[in-house]
């Protein structure tokens, strides 16, 4: 089939090569040019399509996966969706252990893609037998011929972005990128992309976005895993209560933290001002850019690339629900709620 005619053998051929879109309104008063790598253009609507395809291809290449085998993963939703999609095309069973913090939409979506879903409590420690790590580990031990993707501790997660996201951004900016701003969850996106970019130009600034309630920034600054940093927060897919080996801390220049509230408002602002309907962590990345701008991080001539990991449709019952925003105390006054006009 001819890709040049926009005809494809299957949906997996559409993974990667996402657009870089200039942010025009939100950054108009900032020094520098700002671009978003909009990962919702992947067929599974997130950056996780890249790692699902890359890791499964690699397992096939090594002869680990045979048709009909089972793929298991822990996931905040996006990785699960991508693995389920790749499994359908390639003929594997897909079992996903997800956090109870994941939105109802995400869980329903995983089921729609044929995955078997285990919902596990969000606020238990990683070594608790009920945690999604432990549930996935146990299922992997019990199911013969199963493969555990283990994205937080799998170096192929980094390699996937080293081989795709990094080169794409380098080419799209014609080598002129000065700053990369990306969320860190597993750390695969920022680590792999940064590794490629720094090989091309070691002066590129790599800034990771972390959540309040996560251990990543403190670990990066002190080398210490500080349990006192851990408390529940709302943003899904960003920050962590453990140290993932899929994060290359040495390649990240600094971390910056953002709040649940400011990130939620900023996600809504991106949709309303740039016309890009993006997820909660895209709001977090953009919020980080606002804070960095206030600190004077950027100067004229800089070319800043932010990675927007997923699509807004996954957050209809959260960030894009006025009711949810109000329940979180994120609206100061009722006037912030957009009215629905009943024309009857």
Choice between 69 and 310, CB closer to ligand PMP? 310
Whole-angstrom CA distances from 114 to 85, 96, 277, 305 are 9, 11, 26, 35
Query: Beta strands 33-38 and 20-22: pairing type?
Result: antiparallel
CB of 234 to ligand PMP, least distance (A): 12
Q: Return the structure tokens found at 200.
A: 């091309």
310 binds ligand PMP (CB under 6 A): yes
CB of 145 to ligand PMP, least distance (A): 27
Binding track over 91-130 against ligand PMP, x by CB under 6 A: ----------------------------------------
CB of 167 to ligand PMP, least distance (A): 17
Contacts of 317 (CB under 8 A, 6+ apart): 103, 104, 105, 324
Choice between 131 and 281, CB closer to ligand PMP? 281
Q: Return the structure tokens found at 330.
A: 């994120």
CB of 91 to ligand PMP, least distance (A): 25
Q: What are phi and psi of 181, to 5 degrees?
A: -120, 120
Contacts of 272 (CB under 8 A, 6+ apart): none
Q: Exactly one of 48, 106, 240, 257 is catalytic; name it.
A: 48
CB of 99 to ligand PMP, least distance (A): 10
Contact 241, 151 (CB under 8 A): no
Choice between 18 and 189, CB closer to ligand PMP? 189
Whole-number Å distance between alpha carbons of 83 and 106: 14
Choice between 33 and 72, CB closer to ligand PMP? 72
Contacts of 219 (CB under 8 A, 6+ apart): 225, 226, 243, 249
Choice between 16 and 279, CB closer to ligand PMP? 279
281 binds ligand PMP (CB under 6 A): yes
Within 64-83, the residues that bind ligand PMP by CB under 6 A are 76, 78
The half-sphere exposure of 214 on its side-chain side, counting CA atoms within 13 A, is 29
Active site annotation includes 3: no
CB of 154 to ligand PMP, least distance (A): 11
Helix (H, G, I), strand (E, B) or coil at 226: coil
CB of 62 to ligand PMP, least distance (A): 22
Q: Return the structure tokens found at 170.
A: 């380098």
Q: Give the length of the chain.
A: 344
Contacts of 61 (CB under 8 A, 6+ apart): none
279 binds ligand PMP (CB under 6 A): yes
Within 149-208, the residues that bind ligand PMP by CB under 6 A are 183-190
Q: Whose CB is nearest to ligand PMP?
A: 237
Q: Return the structure tokens found at 21.
A: 């879109």
Alpha-helical regions (H) of 98-147: 104-112, 132-142
Choice between 236 and 274, CB closer to ligand PMP? 236
Binding track over 232-261 against ligand PMP, x by CB under 6 A: -----xx-----------------------
Choice between 33 and 196, CB closer to ligand PMP? 196
Contact 84, 94 (CB under 8 A): yes
Active-site amino acid positions = 48
Contact residues toward ligand PMP (CB under 6 A) are: 76, 78, 183-190, 237-238, 279, 281, 309-310
């Amino acid at each position: 089939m001819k890709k040049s005619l926009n005809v494809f053998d299957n949906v997996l051929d559409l993974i990667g090569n996402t657009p870089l879109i200039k942010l025009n309104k939100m950054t108009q008063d900032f020094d520098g040019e700002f671009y978003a790598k909009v990962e919702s253009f992947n067929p599974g609507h997130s950056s996780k399509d890249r790692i699902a395809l890359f890791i499964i291809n690699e397992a096939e290449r090594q002869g680990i996966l045979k048709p009909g085998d089972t793929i298991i993963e822990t996931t905040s939703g996006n990785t699960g969706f991508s693995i389920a999609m790749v499994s359908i095309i390639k003929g594997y069973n897909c079992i996903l252990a997800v956090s109870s913090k994941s939105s109802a939409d995400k869980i329903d979506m995983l089921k729609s893609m044929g995955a078997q879903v285990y919902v596990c409590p969000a606020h238990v420690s990683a070594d608790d037998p009920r945690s999604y790590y432990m549930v996935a580990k146990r299922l992997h031990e019990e199911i013969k011929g199963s493969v555990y993707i283990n994205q937080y501790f799998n170096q192929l997660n980094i390699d996937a972005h080293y081989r795709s996201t990094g080169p794409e951004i380098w080419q799209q900016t014609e080598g002129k990128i000065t700053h990369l701003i990306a969320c860190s969850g597993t750390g695969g996106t920022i680590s792999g992309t940064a590794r490629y970019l720094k090989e091309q130009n070691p002066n590129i600034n790599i800034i990771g976005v972390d959540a309040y309630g996560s251990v990543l920034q403190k670990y990066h600054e002190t080398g210490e895993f500080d349990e006192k940093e851990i408390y529940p927060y709302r943003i899904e897919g960003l920050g962590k209560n453990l140290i993932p080996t899929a994060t290359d801390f040495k390649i990240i220049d600094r971390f910056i933290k953002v709040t649940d509230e400011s990130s939620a408002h900023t996600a809504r602002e991106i949709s309303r001002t740039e016309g890009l309907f993006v997820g909660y962590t895209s709001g977090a990345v953009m919020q980080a850019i606002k804070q960095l701008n206030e600190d004077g991080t950027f100067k004229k001539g800089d070319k800043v690339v932010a990675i927007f990991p997923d699509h807004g449709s996954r957050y209809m019952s959260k960030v894009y629900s006025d009711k949810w925003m109000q329940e979180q105390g994120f609206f100061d006054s009722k006037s912030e709620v957009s009215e629905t006009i009943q024309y009857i």
